[in-house]
Amino acid sequence: MSPNPLKVNSKKEPPLYRQIADALLSGIRDGLFPVGTLLPGELELIERFKSSRHTVREALRVLEDMGIVKRQRGRGTLVISTEARPAFVQAVRDPRELFTYPENSAFRVLAEGSVGDDDHWPARIGDGVDENWARIAGLRTLHDGSPFCWTDIYVLPDYAAIAQQLGRTKRPVYEQIAETFGETVQRISVEICAGSLTGSRAKALQVDEGTPSLVLYRRYCGNGNRLFEVSVTEHPADSFSYSLEFNRGWQAAEHWSWSK
């Protein structure tokens, strides 16, 4: 029996999809799959690596993100390069690095209830939140009491008691939920959009009705990729800005460490 040229190295025991991607990348660089040719099909890779379809697809996604292959519907996975393409990336080691507020600011709870009680429940919150979720509303102010943003925090009903802890610490709500209820943050998504301040929000922030605003939606998923918190923070447009800095690096999830 001839040796399998795509043998998985299990010494370091990385995730299986990484092992598969590593083996395929070695095959590409060794000329087993030259540029312009197709990789073996998904079913063949599933059999060869004794893995699931999901795992094989994740390995191919990794190679596609690196710029090594291009997946084509109905045709297969085409090898387009032997080297990963450079990209510009932003490294975030801690979620708190996203949209941090001044150290001298504080959050003050103004209202508690359920989503069903909120006339301003934004449709943009999306799927996963229903009228039974708990809502905590409040203002973030500077040390002199000047308000600079309104925040609505929506959490699973079982986590409603977290409202009693807010204001006592400057730690983010998702951290307090993780510690108190045993959640593990698996994914955070952030959306920024334009809005305008009206009603009680405009009054609380001491601005005129219709003042342009910048709205941040943060969605936190935890154990089992379950959504457990959504926060909606609204700032008068002239009181908040956010800058991004990207450094040249290799497009990589968990940083590629592969070589020939």
pLDDT tens readout for residues 89-99: 555 666 666 66
The verdict on 49 and 118 lying in the same domain is: no
pLDDT, tens digit, 9 for 90 and up, residues 3-15: 555 655 545 567 8
Q: What is the CATH number of the domain that holds 200?
A: 3.40.1410.10
Q: Is residue 71 part of a domain?
A: yes
For range 245-249, the mean pLDDT:
59
Question: Which pTM does this prediction carry?
Answer: 0.60
The verdict on 201 and 223 lying in the same domain is: yes
The verdict on 28 and 62 lying in the same domain is: yes
In the structure, what pLDDT confidence band is assigned to residue 74 with cuts at 50, 70 and 90? Answer: confident
Domain that holds residue 159: 95-239
Q: Is residue 9 part of a domain?
A: no
The verdict on 126 and 213 lying in the same domain is: yes
Model confidence at 252: pLDDT above 50: no
Model confidence at 259: pLDDT above 80: no
Domain end residue (candidates: 52, 84, 116): 84
- pLDDT higher for 46 or 67? 46
Q: Is residue 8 part of a domain?
A: no
Percent of the chain's residues with pLDDT above 70: 78
- The total of structural domains in the chain comes to 2
| Mean residue pLDDT across the chain | 81
Q: What is the CATH number of the domain that holds 30?
A: 1.10.10.10
The verdict on 118 and 234 lying in the same domain is: yes
Burial of 246: CB neighbours in 10 Å, binned 0-12, 13-18, 19+: exposed
In the structure, what pLDDT confidence band is assigned to residue 250 with cuts at 50, 70 and 90? Answer: very low
pLDDT for residue 256 = 44
The verdict on 116 and 80 lying in the same domain is: no
Q: How far is CA 255 from CA 25, 89, 133, in A?
A: 15, 11, 37
For range 54-59, the mean pLDDT:
90
Lowest mean pLDDT among 35-39, 174-178, 192-196, 255-259: 255-259
Cα–Cα distance measured from residue 38 to residue 58, given in angstroms and rounded to the nearest whole number: 17
The verdict on 201 and 118 lying in the same domain is: yes
pLDDT for residue 77 = 94
pLDDT for residue 212 = 94
Model confidence at 62: pLDDT above 90: no
The verdict on 48 and 128 lying in the same domain is: no
The verdict on 148 and 190 lying in the same domain is: yes
Domain end residue (candidates: 44, 62, 84): 84
In the structure, what pLDDT confidence band is assigned to residue 37 with cuts at 50, 70 and 90? Answer: very high
Instruction: Specify the pairing of strand 227-236 against strand 211-221.
Output: antiparallel
Q: Is residue 121 part of a domain?
A: yes
Domain end residue (candidates: 84, 109, 140): 84
Q: Is residue 11 part of a domain?
A: no
Q: Is residue 145 part of a domain?
A: yes
The verdict on 136 and 35 lying in the same domain is: no
The verdict on 74 and 101 lying in the same domain is: no
pLDDT for residue 258 = 40
The verdict on 78 and 102 lying in the same domain is: no
Model confidence at 122: pLDDT above 70: no
pLDDT for residue 210 = 93
b vs e for 191-222, b when ≥16 Cβ sit within 10 Å of the residue's Cβ?
Answer: eeeebbbeeebbebbebeeebebbbbbbbbbb
Q: Is residue 179 part of a domain?
A: yes
